[in-house]
Structure 1
């Protein structure tokens, strides 16, 4: 048997993303602030945002964009991202959001695979964007530079044309809205086909759990091009008529300055930011008293780290779980539940059901009795609901490998569930280290290492020792001025874990490589691309 969300189902309207977010805007909301540009403080009201969305939609339609055509959006977090993103969807187009750190070759691969006809970028990223467009044959007149560049139309130029937004009609349940790219549980990046209904559903599912209010000022440092920032910030916050304060990239000093000056109330982060908030001495130099909640996602957050952040900032800390393939949220600790352990990802959200399946036997694990103190054995988490993707673009085999005939998405993550329906992610199925037949979760060791006061960050992977046995190896970033030896780190872990979980090798590095969403790039560690400090 599957286990379902403990929350009642929510109604999911049969609307496009644009109609859902802006179709019945209360006139009283039009003067509210939608975006604040973090570095300058420039404000975009909801009235201006909606006008810009319609202007972008009209400009694209005038250039021949048809329902279902794909548009690349290659930009860091700036207010104009929201105008263009929703303008693409308003016109019936499909937005394929592109990592701002991508090389020209990476961008070209995504543009080719998605068959994008237009590309939006910003001037600092134009060299790689233009090179990619040239490689795939997108003409210069179809490459737009939001802030302007010679030879390319700017957002101001497009809006100045005054073209009316087109009348479009499609089925929200089948019409694609976005094509973010994800490696999924394995392999090269693949286009994740998410419909208008997928995105609308996930906002409806998470709003009751997140506690976002219209007077919240939400710091948007998580990238909008990633599904976490796209749904939880760009869509859910706008739905609630909250204000988004944009940051193009994470810089701790700028982050702290903006929170203090703008009186940010709600911050969505990945664990690396939580590490800085818990440990960096600079934090004490800024007034962060306006923050009432910090919500972490994209990678597991350790309970001790979460508590350290909560205690230092005197705020609530929550955690959730999801994947691009789930639009993305499937689990979240509710804003009003202080009793749920911070190292869990909370209960299943409304309208979803899940299974835990033993990856070795393929058998579903037994669940503890409802309300009991028991915890299940670990198993691969399978999820089903209205937020699950249609599949991977042009990759039937990968779709079949991930989505089964019953509609369950096989996440590739190992989890447990307790008698209250609270789920805890143990590790990635493909990242488990097998030491002498025992499973060693890297995330568990990483969380332990981060409790050491002299360790600023850490990552763990499996490597082969001289006997060909896979063993845990820790990559450690030290706090400024700290002095630790390999033996110190090995001893620290050995005193706190079972013998098979001991760290056997240690390397000291300057930074742990991570994706824009905060996930550790273990492949970079495996290929020794990290320079020793």
Structure 2
């Protein structure tokens, strides 16, 4: 039996995202700060943002952008990223948001695959942007440099147009964004998300979080990632909150901005939680303003989350999602801090879920483990130009096969326990890397950790831990790490190989890049 959300369905209007967020005006919030650049303090009000979006749309239309055209956005978090994003949508076009860390080759693949007509970037990224654009067949005049560069159109040029924005031609069923995701496996693919998908997810998360016009949200996770795009940027606009932006994570700057701007709501990935729980510099800042720290993008261990909550005297919550789900499908609500923090809470409104045994294809009930399948209005249309990957992920009944293994309680509380393809099979037993990683992070001399399966001398797959030492952990040995785990876990789950490294490779959203660790392992063998 499918498990429905315990929350009542929400009504999803058939409009574009621009109309949903901007068309009703901002009332007494028009002059209030919508966006603050955390580094400089530069502020854009809701009314100013609306005017910028209209001008950008008009200028893009002047340059030949029409309904269905794709515009690449390759820049870090700033208020101008937000204005550019919504300007593109207001021009009836589609945004493909690119990872700020991309190499020219990676960016060229995304531009070419998505069919991007223009690329919006910043001058520090211009070398990579021009190389990628050339490889993708775009001319130099197809590049817009927000902060200006000689020979290129700038944001100031766009805002200087005398033209009017075009009529709104898109509907809820039209594609709004093409973020790129590896999905359950493989090379990054364009995820087709419609205006309705994005609007639905904003309405689905609304009843579970206490976000209002009095809330300040910190946007340190990138807007190019769907977590930042929906949960920070667009939720802030939807709830008329103030969003404080950071271009990248730096702990001292993060702490300064939270303290200085009195940020109440902070969205993070688990690596930030490790720093908040363990780094001594945290005590130098007044973080009493923080009400809620919400973790997503990767599993957060409850013990680590409770350590953050205790240190900062705030509530720590967790959720779950995927780019393919716009992204949120499960949330621990603000008013349920009693829920086990190892869980990701309830399914959001309008969704139903199944847990399916990956070996037998049979549904499993409460207490059992199975791959999580999700169906709802936030689920993607499919992967761009990739029918095979779409068919492997979306079934005929509309369920998205997440690739994640979960459990559920009788009350409908879900817990992600691992990924289908990342489970280590040791002598027939399943060993979840995420469980070992969470345990390793409780060691006071371990700053970060990742676990993969490697082959031992007998060809058996065994768990190997890559460990980053804390500042006080110089004397930590491999044997101590293995003993620490062995004392706290079933024998078949023991870590059997340890390697100390300087940094665990992670995506911009905080997910461990196990493929990089496997490549490292392969090159060493």
TM range (shorter): over 0.9
* 8 A contact 1:72–1:97 mirrored in 2: yes
1:85-484 to 2 correspondences below 5 Å: 85-173=85-173, 175-367=174-366, 376-482=367-473, 483-484=475-476
Distance 1:156 1:300 in 2: 42
Distance 1:295 1:234 in 2: 15
Change (3 A) 1:251 1:495: same
Q: CA deviation at 1:366?
A: 2.4
Matched position secondary structure for 1:290: coil
Matched position secondary structure for 2:407: strand
Distance 1:345 1:387 in 2: 17
Distance 1:351 1:40 in 2: 40
1:24-43 to 2 correspondences below 5 Å: 24-43=24-43
Q: Which residue of 2 aligns with 1:73?
A: 73
* 8 A contact 2:482–2:496 mirrored in 1: yes
* 8 A contact 1:524–1:530 mirrored in 2: no
Distance 1:397 1:427 in 2: 24
Distance 1:286 1:460 in 2: 33
Distance 1:526 1:125 in 2: 30
Q: CA deviation at 1:131?
A: 0.6
Q: CA deviation at 1:529?
A: 7.9
* 8 A contact 2:365–2:408 mirrored in 1: no
Q: Which residue of 2 aligns with 1:23?
A: 23
Q: Which string of whole-angstrom CA distances, capped at 9 and with x for unpartnered residues, describes residues 306-362 of structure 1?
A: 100000000011100000000000000001112111110001000000000000100
TM-score (norm 2): 0.98
Q: Which residue of 2 aligns with 1:373?
A: none
Q: Which residue of 1 aligns with 2:53?
A: 53
Distance 1:24 1:286 in 2: 39
**Is 1:506 paired with 2:493?**
no
Q: CA deviation at 1:531?
A: 12
Q: Which string of whole-angstrom CA distances, capped at 9 and with x for unpartnered residues, describes residues 452-479 of structure 1?
A: 0111110000000111100000000111
Distance 2:236 2:282 in 1: 26
Matched position secondary structure for 1:527: helix
Structure 2, unpaired ranges of 5+ = none
Matched position secondary structure for 1:40: coil
Q: CA deviation at 1:241?
A: 0.7
* 8 A contact 1:199–1:327 mirrored in 2: yes
Distance 1:214 1:530 in 2: 51
* 8 A contact 2:26–2:46 mirrored in 1: no
Q: CA deviation at 1:251?
A: 0.4
Distance 1:163 1:468 in 2: 68
Change (3 A) 1:530 1:488: farther
| Runs of 4+ deviating beyond 4 Å | 529-532
* 8 A contact 1:510–1:531 mirrored in 2: no
**Is 1:83 paired with 2:91?**
no
Q: Which residue of 1 aligns with 2:512?
A: 520
Distance 1:163 1:140 in 2: 23
Q: Which string of whole-angstrom CA distances, capped at 9 and with x for unpartnered residues, describes residues 245-301 of structure 1?
A: 110000001101111111111100000000000000000000000000000000000
* 8 A contact 1:458–1:474 mirrored in 2: yes
* 8 A contact 1:67–1:168 mirrored in 2: no
Matched position secondary structure for 1:219: strand
Q: CA deviation at 1:223?
A: 0.2
Structure 1, unpaired ranges of 5+ = 368-375
Distance 1:164 1:249 in 2: 34
1:478-493 to 2 correspondences below 5 Å: 478-482=469-473, 483-493=475-485
Q: CA deviation at 1:170?
A: 2.9
Q: Which residue of 2 aligns with 1:2?
A: 2
Q: CA deviation at 1:138?
A: 1.3
Distance 1:529 1:151 in 2: 46
Matched position secondary structure for 1:306: helix
Q: CA deviation at 1:26?
A: 3.1
Q: CA deviation at 1:207?
A: 1.1
Distance 2:132 2:448 in 1: 35
Q: Which string of whole-angstrom CA distances, capped at 9 and with x for unpartnered residues, describes residues 49-101 of structure 1?
A: 11111111111111111111100000110110000000111111010000000
Instruction: Count residues in correspondence.
Output: 523
Q: Which residue of 2 aligns with 1:370?
A: none
